[in-house]
Amino acid sequence: MGASLLDQVLAETLDPAYARAAEARETPAAGDSSDGRRRGLGALAVAVTMGAAGLLFGVTYEQAASGEAGREAVRGALVEDIGAQSDTIDDLSAEHEDLRAQVADARADALAASAVGQRAIDDLDAAELAAGLVAVTGPGLLVTLADAEPDADADPVGGTDDGSGDVRDGDLQLVVNALWAAGAEAVSINGQRLGPTTAIRFAGEAVLVDFRPVTNPYRISAVGDPGELRSRFLASPEVNALAVISESYGLLFEFAQEDELSVPAGGVPELRSAAPFDGEPAEAAAGGSGG
């Protein structure tokens, strides 16, 4: 026993426990291997997620960029189309005015050859003036209406403005009707001629005169005898009521006599029906045919 123990000690100089510890370090345990695999899978998942996020961002950015470019292209095409149509309208309007002048000259030459024709010219001139189809220049009265100045204490964010300080279509209608009643021969608002069928309406935040928008301030030009226009205009009870309203709400309401005002011609009304003129009034002709 003694010899065998001595031989074993000499043969195995290293404690077996050290060998088992070294072997354990060289060969990972099952738990350590599982942790390593989990770490590897986690890193792979993070990489895949980041890649997907980057791809999604790239696709979204490309779509947004292409959409913005498309909208800009459509907007540019619309602006170009509007400009082209506006030029066409201007050209047609100029051609229309030129043709109207040619027709008027030819008509005057044809009618001026006889006394009956000359009377027809005079009647036609009066009718065109009443219909607002010819430009008028002369002395008259200039009336100005404007919105009230914004209140410094008003809240620009809270929207406290109720519109009571704005000029309305009814205000312009009142002034225009008072000018007609005072003897005005021709009236315009901001260069828009008023005729028998002209409407003054309020649409949203804009005032429309003959379906065309006019903006603040509103200048109403009335051609006629300045003195008579002024006195009869100021004597109107509706005008006095408007003056009180203007003072209460801060509206600008001014008038001035002018030595020369220019009122442009209005649009040509749509011709709905026509019949040859045989020299007799239409009522008489209709009555005679029915008898």
284 assigned to some structural domain: no
69 assigned to some structural domain: yes
> Which residues lie below 8 Å from residue 233, measured CB to CB, with a gap of 6+?
141, 143, 178, 179, 182, 239, 255
Boundary-marking domain end, from 131, 157, 176? 131
State the pLDDT at residue 180. 93
State the pLDDT at residue 280. 56
pLDDT at residue 14 is higher than 60:
no
Name the H helices within 112-220.
115-131, 169-181
Phi (first) and psi of residue 136, to 5 degrees: -130, 135
State the pLDDT at residue 93. 76
Q: pLDDT class for 199, splitting at 50, 70, 90?
A: confident
Mean pLDDT of 38-55: 73
Instruction: List, for residues 174-191, the tens digit of each pLDDT value.
Output: 999 999 999 999 999 998
291 assigned to some structural domain: no
Which CATH number do you get for residue 175? Answer: 3.30.70.1880
287 assigned to some structural domain: no
Together in a domain, 85 and 202: no
pLDDT at residue 68 is higher than 80:
no
State the pLDDT at residue 260. 93
Mean residue pLDDT of the chain comes to 78
Per cent of the chain over pLDDT 70 is 74
pLDDT at residue 169 is higher than 80:
yes
Structure tokens at 46: 């993070």
Together in a domain, 171 and 259: yes
Together in a domain, 83 and 205: no
274 assigned to some structural domain: no
Together in a domain, 244 and 229: yes
State the pLDDT at residue 146. 93
Mean pLDDT of 224-229: 93
Together in a domain, 55 and 139: no
State the pLDDT at residue 284. 41
State the pLDDT at residue 121. 82
Together in a domain, 55 and 127: yes
pLDDT at residue 250 is higher than 80:
yes
Together in a domain, 254 and 142: yes
Instruction: List, for residues 125-141, the tens digit of each pLDDT value.
Output: 888 777 777 888 999 99
Together in a domain, 173 and 243: yes
Total tally of structural domains belonging to the chain: 2
Instruction: List, for residues 252-262, the tens digit of each pLDDT value.
Output: 999 999 999 99
pLDDT at residue 92 is higher than 80:
yes
Together in a domain, 188 and 247: yes
Would you call 203 helix, strand, or coil by DSSP?
strand
114 assigned to some structural domain: yes
Together in a domain, 173 and 108: no
Q: pLDDT class for 277, splitting at 50, 70, 90?
A: low
Mean pLDDT of 197-201: 86
Q: pLDDT class for 28, splitting at 50, 70, 90?
A: low
pLDDT at residue 192 is higher than 60:
yes
Structure tokens at 39: 């770490």
pLDDT at residue 156 is higher than 70:
no
State the pLDDT at residue 232. 94
Together in a domain, 209 and 173: yes
Q: pLDDT class for 16, splitting at 50, 70, 90?
A: low
36 assigned to some structural domain: no
Q: Furthest-apart CA pair in the chain: how many Å?
A: 168
DSSP string, 38-89: HHHHHHHHHHHHHHHHHHHHHHHHHHHHHHHHHHHHHHHHHHHHHHHHHHHH
42 or 157, which is more confident: 42
Together in a domain, 169 and 256: yes
Domain of residue 115 covers 41-131
pLDDT at residue 61 is higher than 60:
yes
190 assigned to some structural domain: yes
